[in-house]
A = this chain, B = another copy of it.
Amino acid sequence: PDLVSISDYERYARHFIRDDIWAYISGGAADEHTLAENLQSFARQPIYNRVLSDFSTANTRTRILGYELDSPLLLAPVAHQRLLHPYGEIATAQAAAAMNVPLIVSTLSSVALEQIAQHAGQWWFQLYWQPQREDNQTLLRRAIQADARAIVITLDAPVSGVRNRAQRAGFRLPDGVREENLVEFATSVNTAAEGESVIFKHFMKQRPSLDDLKWLREQTSLPLLAKGISHPEDAKALQEIGFDGLIISNHGGRTLDGVPATLSLLPAIRIAVGKDMTLLMDSGIRRGTDVVKALAAGADAVCIGRPQLWSLAVAGALGVAHMLRIFQEELEMAMALTGCATIDAISQDVFADRF
């Protein structure tokens, strides 16, 4: 009835989700400045309405890493989806398949990746680096076998951030929701000695080094992306060791509080890596106009995070599909009104001076 925009799903979802889980999925790090700025950055960026462009061959198709997509939309990797719905990632995969939108499956999915793959259309695998190199190899092999079309390694969460909202709500993964892809691996043991910093001597030891990333690059010929990049120099360094693409992201404001919105980070990173490298982005995409702004700022496509969870909680696979339909329609509307008949036509020219 009055479910006509992404924010309506957010509003409804509030009533379908337990308080602690709500705090976990909605919350950001620390004082949630970045979380708020993710939305504000889009809100304060004006765009022109154009009225004379030719729309005879208009469409939203685009090519990303060699794959033809109907639209520059993907589903961002989001862990633990059975928190929101009994079918969890399976429902999301069905919706993505139905809507022909690529799905990025998280290492921390609550359904085994093979099972998700059975219901998915095009899907990519998001890797959280495992302390043992061979465990990464195992995950990769499983993903490739289950027909993943790209590998995304997330780099911005070596520690999980100061998640005060979730902590205050006392959130813990409930019984019955497990990280199914990891059950066979040894549980990680704290490597910090008594009195040493757990953060520096345990967590930061477990994250991938530059060497690990080079090694990873050699393990697969699939397109390889790094997620969670906010600085042009990190972008260039990853390009140099052979990454095919980057996902510019602040993890939806969930890791370091104070990172700028990705919209404001994109232009400098696009300049740093040149026009050919594939740049996806996420964090705060809620409207068709947000997609247009992200692309105008330098992205090739965008990933959708929390809206997956809200729509999944409200109406399962159907909800996720409807949520994607809203994005598609709003994107078309935004292109129609900004005078951009194709994805390639979207450029910095759509931007007007900041309010």
Which A residues contact B (CB, under 8 angstroms)? 1-2, 4-5, 7-8, 30-31, 33, 37, 40-41, 43-52, 54-56, 58-60, 155-156, 158-159, 161-162, 164, 167-170, 197, 199-200, 203-205, 209-210, 226, 228-231, 234, 237-238, 250, 255-261, 264-265, 287-289, 293, 329-330, 332-334, 336-338, 341, 352-353, 355
Contacts and interface: CB of A to CB of B under 8 A. Distances in A.
A54 B48 CA distance: 41
A333 B226 CA distance: 21
Contacts of A352: 230, 259-260, 264-265
A200 B8 CA distance: 25
A130 to B, nearest CB: 17
Contact of A336 (B167, B199, B238, B265): B199
B45 A5 contact: no
B162 A48 contact: no
A336 B156 contact: no
Nearest to A250: B49
Contact of A2 (B158, B168, B203, B228): B168
15 contacts: A2-B167, A30-B330, A49-B156, A49-B259, A51-B158, A51-B229, A51-B234, A52-B238, A59-B197, A159-B337, A200-B341, A204-B336, A256-B338, A261-B355, A264-B353
Nearest 7 A-B pairs (CB), nearest first? A256-B337, A51-B155, A2-B168, A55-B204, A58-B200, A199-B332, A46-B260
Given A158-B336, A161-B337, A199-B332, A230 B31 contact: no
Contacts of A260: 46, 48, 352-353, 355
